[in-house]
Structure 1
């Protein structure tokens, strides 16, 4: 990898999806068309897949949630950031400082992630539930914080939700996919992403991020750290144009191989990158709806024009492992 790799952002209109699978389902077995040319490409957009430099890869399903029931019902998901062995378990659920695991202040987020058991500064659970199930679809709902709960919830402008599989499911290599609609609006920042199970950062794989101020614009990005001699964090990713992303469900996925990371929309490869250093540990999945961002363009801070209530609709989330692994 070069010592300095600038962020690469370019828009791309999507070609029709490869029809090897019904993208409306998450079958027990899956075949993905992947790039096979020498893995010397550092980071590129795939506008047209060369049949002579591709093949089909067979995978089997290892994780699946189609959200026919509440996501917390079977303890497959955790409703806050995890990690940090020294962090007292009770601090996840309330008390001063408990908001540290329920937002990313460095990003300038203006929401707090809640769940029915979270009590904030109160002495009892507040019963706030941002997760709604309707006809097999999960909605993560962000809502303006009621005035009477502002102080209890550390003066955050919104309540919202996050789900992570840290401690319940992680995997080294394989394919990770979400089928969702991408909400829009000033301050709206939905995401589906992967982090290393050892709690370090980076590496990070952003399978999907929506720029709320730019309807139809979604981002797929890889983040990694250079060697200790330089220590800088590098990133490479692309914006993609999906005009109906807010109104129609689409599949957004990433395939992590030993030599490359390949991003997919509707199971068609749209970009890839040679695997940077540091991608050594299994990774777990995160899906969340943040509100407000200072470091991610196209989201902005919430204001009077931001929706009072917004939903990140998710039909399913699945993971697959490569048969050879």
Structure 2
């Protein structure tokens, strides 16, 4: 029996024992695997216009949602070998053509400069300002765990890589997989450190922004801090709004936890270890299928608790990911 299978069996046994002492409606399922079928609990209370935490849930006020799996990657092989992932932003309707398509601006799809990020996303075929691939690979796979590794840019390559302080990695399913409604989940450890900014999130497949669903963002300078946020635009004013919360997961950097979001026609519910923690009425503009993004950014001028990289920032940082899964809601 493999280590992964043994771990899953042990988790199943412990979950069965635990169900004797927990309320069945909110009992934790086996988080180590991505079963073909899944049932989640969601609140049934009426929603206001703003998001809210789900605290001390009453099982009588919850309803079950049945789902079936539509996407899963256990990362038993390199993420770029299966055709599921793209190692950069693919661009779209809202992307400036001049920057996206070439010249010195070709770094546009490999970082978000507006955020003040100090990394560039690379892959083995990327050459920066050179035509020849540099062979830089931020994706490491071992024992079914994907590590997105950020490391300081080699001095000899800094000019070629637009003078970014770090090289790191991003994976997106744009053009490969997108879905309207359903449940989207990552099981991962969340790295920490000054300038460290891991995230699992979603954007509309048409390339526009917002909407944006931030399923999990880590505040590198605040170990155990997990952020879950929804972004949308008010059509009448074009103002971008957001609503979300910070949550404490004390061992987030040392233990694997599942972070997910359930997108239904009427509400968006965020989950930690498949327990609902917050929800929001679906804002305006959530009309198109969304694709998944997982990345390890380094440095931010806007996201509190991350900061810019400095001498205290680790030379290498690893964002460890056990799996990423998606489920669609069963028809009734």
Q: Calculate the TM-score normalised by the size of structure 1.
A: 0.91
Q: Confirm or deny that 1:213 pairs with 2:257.
A: no
Q: Confirm or deny that 1:295 pairs with 2:294.
A: no
Query: SS of the residue aligned with 1:151?
Result: coil
Per-residue deviation, 1:36:
1.2
Per-residue deviation, 1:123:
2.3
Residue in 1 aligned with 2:19? none
Q: Confirm or deny that 1:277 pairs with 2:284.
A: yes
Partners of 2:324 and 2:83 lie apart in 1 by: 15
Query: SS of the residue aligned with 1:243?
Result: coil
Residue in 2 aligned with 1:143? 151
Per-residue deviation, 1:122:
1.5
In structure 1, stretches of 5+ residues that fail to align are 1-15
**Residue deviations 1:55-75, cap 9 Å, x none?**
111100000000000000011
C-alpha spacing 1:249/1:58, structure 2 compared with 1 (3 Å): same
Partners of 1:168 and 1:45 lie apart in 2 by: 33
Query: SS of the residue aligned with 2:133?
Result: coil
Larger fraction in helix? 2
Per-residue deviation, 1:183:
0.1
Partners of 1:102 and 1:41 lie apart in 2 by: 35
- The 4+ residue runs of structure 1 with deviation greater than 4 A are 85-88
Per-residue deviation, 1:84:
2.7
Query: SS of the residue aligned with 2:107?
Result: helix
Residue in 1 aligned with 2:176? 168
**Mean alpha-carbon deviation: is it higher for 19-28 or for 181-190?**
19-28
**Residue deviations 1:91-133, cap 9 Å, x none?**
77x8522111100000000000000000001120000000000
Per-residue deviation, 1:87:
8.0
Residue in 2 aligned with 1:131? 139
Residue in 2 aligned with 1:249? 256
Partners of 1:107 and 1:324 lie apart in 2 by: 40
Task: Return the match for 1:34 from 23, 34, 42.
Answer: 42
> Contact 2:91 / 2:109 at 8 angstroms: preserved in 1?
no
> Contact 2:201 / 2:294 at 8 angstroms: preserved in 1?
yes
Query: SS of the residue aligned with 1:96?
Result: helix
Q: How large is the Cα RMSD of the aligned pairs?
A: 1.9
Q: Calculate the TM-score normalised by the size of structure 2.
A: 0.89
Q: Confirm or deny that 1:24 pairs with 2:32.
A: yes
> Contact 1:187 / 1:301 at 8 angstroms: preserved in 2?
yes
Residue in 2 aligned with 1:10? none
Residue in 2 aligned with 1:307? 314
Per-residue deviation, 1:231:
1.5
Per-residue deviation, 1:52:
2.1
Per-residue deviation, 1:20:
4.7
**Mean alpha-carbon deviation: is it higher for 173-182 or for 77-86?**
77-86
Partners of 2:304 and 2:96 lie apart in 1 by: 32
Residue in 2 aligned with 1:322? 329
Residue in 2 aligned with 1:6? none
Query: SS of the residue aligned with 1:97?
Result: helix
**Mean alpha-carbon deviation: is it higher for 121-130 or for 106-115?**
121-130
Query: SS of the residue aligned with 1:106?
Result: helix
